[in-house]
Structure 1
Amino acid sequence: MENQFSVVSLFNIILFTGVIYGLTFCAILFFMKRKTGKPILFLNLQVLFITLNNLQAWLIDMGLTSSLVFIKFLKIPWYFLCMPMFYVFLIYYLKLKKRTKPFMMATLGVFFTFILVRLILISYSQAHHYSESELRSMMMRYGNLEEIIGFLYTMVVFIKSIALFNSRKRQFEFVLLYDDLIWIKHFMNLAGLVILMWVLAIIINLNDQNNNSPIVYYPLRLSTTILIYWIGFKGLFRFRIMEDRIVLRENIKKHLDLEQKDFDWDQKEDRQEKIISKKQQELFNKINTHVIDHKLFLDPFLSLETLANSLELSSGYLSFLINNYSSNNFSDYINELRINQVKQIIKDPEYLNYTIVSIGLESGFNSKSTFYKSFKKFTGMSPVEFKKQIE
């Protein structure tokens, strides 16, 4: 009994901590000065509804609900709105041209119908003088039915979300330029696990003749608490990076003067030179100017071979020039140019509120870890430390 109490207490502490985090997250988003847009609005609503559902469960378990009959038995099915919010978030995040109003109207219609039915049942019980135990039994039976309907609807929306994500990739190729969307796949895997826990809890609860098995919902509530952390961190962070990268890329293109001139050099004379010479130095200078002026280093897939081909040089000869005249190998040569680009953007007050990761990715790095490692290598400090130093 003592062990069971400690486990229940631990679950309630974790649940309450998740509730506090969820409410704080929603409040921060609500009061943010920076415009977030519709994707974050629906992401915020999903976090809010998960939080309210867990808060309601925590209040019931702790016996903190009102003694008034209409409040005590009016259990709001917040869980019903969670997956639909994610579905709409997905549509806006992937920038799909798909109407959401009919879907939202239908979802809210069912949601408020659930609440109305509960109010009617409670009113009926009061008019016919039901005892509290009779009312509790009736509301539990209805609650089981409501939960089954809610689960089936959630499953339908979850399947629609998976189908939307997997079948419309051509329609969100633009988004894939800025986000690999792997985090959404991970979220769907986690959401699938939560749904599996939910169906197990429903089955166990239906087989409990006394309808007294709230403990089977603790793993479910714990997993939704984890889901709050996951959505809150990943969703907002990824959205900010994507939006920042879109603006950064547009601004970089505006300042990039590409005249599309051919790379001008005397192939025969320079190819014959195989020793360190003044002409090779001049050739490297031309290559370096070409790479910088055309910002070729912004391409995360730039390789020694692709650059050599574009210059009509052999990769071996290009490597020889870079190694001898830049004091770096090709990888470090390109990464140093990228770091210089990052430093330039960070120093610009126009990009003060942009995420450092988005700046690194739009400067040519293909991952956060490579960016941070290279920045440390060439500056001796992290990007965050560099930014604080110039503020």
Structure 2
Amino acid sequence: MVIAIVGINNWFWDRGTSPTIISILDLFLWQFLYPVTLVHFFQKTSNEASGKIVNLKYLYVPFILLSACNIVISVSTIFSLYNLPQIVGNYIGHFYKTVSFLSVIFPIYTIILSYRFVLTHKDNPSKKWLKHLWVYLSIILLFGVGLELYRFIFSEKLPLTYLWTFSSIFIYWLVYKGMYQFKLSNDRYEIRTITKKEQSKSLSSNAKNSHFKNLLLLIEEEKIHHDPYLSREDVAQRLEISNGYLSQIIKENTSRSFSDLVNHHRIRDVKMMLKDPMFDNYSLLSIGLECGFNSKTSFYTNFKRETGLTPKEYKNK
């Protein structure tokens, strides 16, 4: 919303016109507000990951103070409601030169600050999109900073056509991704709800030892293989055996490796869902992700390796 307001203000600026509503909106220096909202977004995701709360209220100080000064000046120079003292009028040019300089420095500071929060997710593959988001936003902000730097050095304002074109494309992409990710997340939630209601299936009677039977219990009843970050170490710890012994009993009972066994059960669950009309309304990807694959590539590659078909081909068949 803030970026849209800034865009409208600058569009009228480029046209050389200023309706009353735009003059009112222009009283506030929005360029010191929208970088703060971006930092807060990355901070929120960081809080969810680390549990740490960082106070960022000080970031609002430039917006509040500079907007207050701009209102005092604009009410006199634009709306002519009163006359500023001569001594104040002498410093108006310096004030806006300072604003231009801070418009270069402040976004760069917020980019660096927000990157600290992005680093919180460096070991979490599911948050990789946050790094991409940070990169896209940083490129747009730095492009705007370049335009403002030119204005500061040469006292000439360049057209913002390209900046707002890039921003518009980015916002459309963000809305699309948001709707797509929401649909995907909602599908996975509903799939999880349905599968929790299903009865656990009977275990294989061919298991050669109790540890392997316990492993099958974890798979069948607790659906541990639906965790995309499941590791051999995690399972061995649950079974209270060594990593090597876990690999040994899996090999003896299935002739598979740990990862192959886990993916086999993931694919088994996917195939069951694809055959069940109850899951017809959900996308293939949402089913694959809910069954434990951590990406579309991993899902399609492993599924085709085991079945010889893509998920779509299997469902059609």
| Fold shared per TM-score above 0.5 | yes
Q: Please, which of 258, 262, 267 is the counterpart of residue 335 of structure 1?
A: 267
How far apart in 1 are the matches of 2:187 and 2:311? 20
Q: Does 1:185 align with 2:120?
A: no
Deviations 1:206-244 (A, max 9, x none): 2324x3x322x3333333223323433335544665576
CA drift of 1:139 comes to 6.8
CA drift of 1:58 comes to 1.7
For these two proteins, the number of residue pairs brought into alignment is 282
Cα 1:191–1:72 change in 2 (3 A) is same
How far apart in 1 are the matches of 2:223 and 2:21? 69
Instruction: List gaps (5 residues or longer) in structure 1.
Output: 1-47, 269-286, 320-328, 382-391
- Any residues of structure 2 matched to 1:262-301 within 5 Å, and which? 264-265=205-206, 267=208, 295=223, 298-300=226-228
- Any residues of structure 2 matched to 1:225-304 within 5 Å, and which? 225-235=168-178, 237-238=180-181, 241=184, 245=188, 257=200, 264-265=205-206, 267=208, 295=223, 298-300=226-228
CA drift of 1:120 comes to 1.0
- Any residues of structure 2 matched to 1:115-134 within 5 Å, and which? 115-125=67-77, 126=80, 127-128=82-83
Q: Please, which of 219, 224, 232 is the counterpart of residue 167 of structure 2?
A: 224
The one-letter code matched in structure 2 to 1:84 is V
How far apart in 2 are the matches of 1:49 and 1:122? 20
The one-letter code matched in structure 1 to 2:150 is I
Cα 1:360–1:93 change in 2 (3 A) is farther
Deviations 1:301-320 (A, max 9, x none): 789xx9x956825379636x
The equivalent of 2:251 in structure 1 is 314
Deviations 1:258-302 (A, max 9, x none): 99x8x753759xxxxxxxxxxxxxxxxxx9999656646535578
Cα 1:55–1:190 change in 2 (3 A) is same
How far apart in 2 are the matches of 1:245 and 1:356? 11
The equivalent of 2:239 in structure 1 is none
The one-letter code matched in structure 1 to 2:139 is L
Deviations 1:100-131 (A, max 9, x none): 6x524x4444323333212211234334499x
How far apart in 2 are the matches of 1:232 and 1:219? 20
How far apart in 2 are the matches of 1:378 and 1:89? 41
- Any residues of structure 2 matched to 1:1-391 within 5 Å, and which? 48-66=1-19, 71=23, 74-94=26-46, 95=48, 96-99=50-53, 102-104=55-57, 106-125=58-77, 126=80, 127-128=82-83, 142-166=95-119, 168-169=120-121, 176=124, 180-209=126-155, 211=156, 213-215=157-159, 217-235=160-178, 237-238=180-181, 241=184, 245=188, 257=200, 264-265=205-206, 267=208, 295=223, 298-300=226-228, 309=246, 312-314=249-251, 318=255, 334-341=266-273, 344=276, 347=278, 357-369=285-297, 371=299, 374-380=310-316
- 2:121–2:127 contact (8 Å) kept in structure 1: no
Cα 1:256–1:155 change in 2 (3 A) is farther
The equivalent of 2:212 in structure 1 is none
CA drift of 1:204 comes to 1.7
Cα 1:55–1:355 change in 2 (3 A) is farther
The one-letter code matched in structure 2 to 1:265 is N
Which structure exhibits the higher relative contact order, with contacts defined as CA atoms closer than 8 Å and separated by 6 or more residues?
1
- 2:29–2:63 contact (8 Å) kept in structure 1: yes
Deviations 1:13-70 (A, max 9, x none): xxxxxxxxxxxxxxxxxxxxxxxxxxxxxxxxxxx2222211222232234521x599
Deviations 1:330-362 (A, max 9, x none): 977852432323665x8269xx7x876444311
How far apart in 1 are the matches of 2:163 and 2:246? 56
How far apart in 2 are the matches of 1:236 and 1:247? 16
How far apart in 2 are the matches of 1:234 and 1:117? 39
Task: Please tell me the root mean square deviation across aligned C-alpha atoms, in Å.
Answer: 4.9
Cα 1:251–1:241 change in 2 (3 A) is same
TM-score by length of 2: 0.65
Determine what percentage of the aligned residue pairs are the same residue. 19
Instruction: List gaps (5 residues or longer) in structure 2.
Output: 210-214, 236-244, 305-309
